[in-house]
Amino acid sequence: MNGSEKASSPTGLQPMLWCALLWALLAASMAPGHVRAQTQAPVFSDADIDQMLAPIALYPDVLLSQILIAATYPLEVVEAARWSASNARRGGTDAVRAAASQGWDPSVQALVAFPDLLQRMDEDLDWTRRLGDAWLMQEADVSDRIQHLRQRADAAGHLRTTEQIRTRRDNNVIIIEQANPQVVYVPYYQPAVVYGSWWHASHPPVYWAPPRGYHSGAVFYFGPGIRLYSGFFYSRFDWPRRQIVVVSRRSSAHGGYVRWRHDPRHRRGVTYRSPQLNRDFSRHGASIDANRRPVWQRETAHNRPQGERGAERGARHTERRPRADADARDRAPARQMRPPTTRPPASTRAPSSRPPSAQERQRARGDRERSPQGSQQRGQRREQQREQQREQQREHPRQQQRQRMQAPNSPSRPDGWQPRGRSARE
């Protein structure tokens, strides 16, 4: 071996260092924090969320919160859009009240007052479903990206207070409200204009076709205002907590608001994008459906028969029994079992010298009645009793007829009865 080969050959210590480094890398990759970070990786990136929120991020807060909630129920959005198209003569509050009998979620029912917006959500159903899944899985990220898009529009100089909307800041949070609390204007704008140059080249913003009457030079276009009654919207954003809360008289009376919760019943069987959501909301929906049934139809441990409850407990006990205990019992040597002692029948017993008690006589009478001969005798006695009753019913009219024939001139009155009048004096 020459000198160059000696210099290039690893020493005995180098393989050990390489093995230690390899084991350290494997341990780091299998650490709980690393695994949790991989399983909890966001499904939608910031570019995906910005792309979805581009056409609606500058809507008034209350309307935007209703859109995000309604997007979690895509099938009901489709039904509401079809209903709105077939009831085009109804609008605003009248349409919302007419749709109350459809059984939709309140957020979907509220969007009936905005038929153009509802139609866009129906036409781009993939966008609607992705938006709802993003809110269910990453509501904090979606809230942050809404504020990011508003910051972009404000930096471009296009987010101002107008006759239709009012914008204000609260601790670096941009809030958009309608100028008139009872009139809502739905803005239309082009994302490539209002936000400036788009910053995600691989994820261009969602583009909606302009409505009728749109002028190409306008940054914001507002259609006719939709007049609504006071308290029409029942949700709003809680920006510090980055979530949506439900506004109601009951929650306000307790000094706060209730956080909005997704109701899987209004999902109508549409699967979720996340397997975890499918598991959680499937169990939650099943428990809600079970609780909505009447008490007498619920399969609880209290209203099932006693035999079924005992069988179920026995089955659960059998399932919980470890298999190792069963194997150990099978391997154990068989114990010498004594033959079971059987009591001889009453006919073969030796007669007792004492007289039988009342209980023994009743027990013997019951044994005789339960025997086949006793059953036959009972049937014969019952048949004889029925025959006697029928004979008495037939004999009763005959006796009355015989009595009338024996004394035809005597009145059918009790003894001592005398008629009144002239014949009585004679």
The predicted-structure confidence for 3-30, as pLDDT tens digits, reads as follows: 444 444 444 556 566 556 555 554 544 4
Instruction: Select, from the ranges 187-191, 246-250, 331-335, the one with the highest average predicted confidence (pLDDT).
Output: 187-191
The residue ranking higher by pLDDT, 26 or 42, is 42
- Band of the pLDDT at 291, cuts 50, 70, 90? very low
Alpha helices in 162-227 (DSSP H): 191-194
Domain edges within the chain: 46-261
Give the Cβ contact number of residue 249 at 10 Å.
7
Cα–Cα distance for residue pair 92/115, rounded to 1 Å: 9
Measured in degrees and rounded to the nearest 5, phi and psi for residue 188 equal: -125, 135
| Stronger pLDDT, 404 or 266, i.e. the higher one | 266
Please count the other Cβ atoms lying within 10 Å of the Cβ belonging to residue 99: 22
Helix, strand or coil for residue 166? strand
Q: Give the number of other CB atoms < 10 A from CB of residue 66.
A: 28
Q: Which residues contact 102 (CB under 8 A, 6 or more apart)?
A: 79, 80, 83, 109
188 membership: H or E segment, kind and range: strand 187-188
Tens of pLDDT, residues 336-393? 455 555 555 555 555 555 677 777 777 777 776 666 666 777 778 888 888 888 888 7
Q: CA 110, CA 291: separation in Å to the nearest integer? A: 27
The 10s digit of each residue's pLDDT in 113-165 is 999 999 999 999 999 999 999 999 999 999 999 999 999 999 999 998 999 99
Q: Which of 34-43, 184-193, 313-322, 367-376 has the lowest mean pLDDT?
A: 34-43
CA distances from 236 to 232, 246, 264, 384 (A): 12, 7, 21, 84
Neighbouring C-alpha atoms within 13 Å toward the C-beta of 297? 6
Distance separating the N- and C-terminal Cα atoms of the chain: 171
Look at residue 254 in the predicted model and tell me its pLDDT: 46
Distance of CA 203 to the CA centre of its chain: 36
Per-residue pLDDT at 153: 95
Tokens of 46: 């910031």
Half-sphere exposure of 362 toward its Cβ, with a 13 Å CA cutoff? Answer: 3
Q: What is the CA radius of gyration of the chain?
A: 44
Average pLDDT of 156-185?
A: 91
| pLDDT > 50? residue 325 | yes
Q: What is the mean pLDDT of residues 266-295?
A: 65
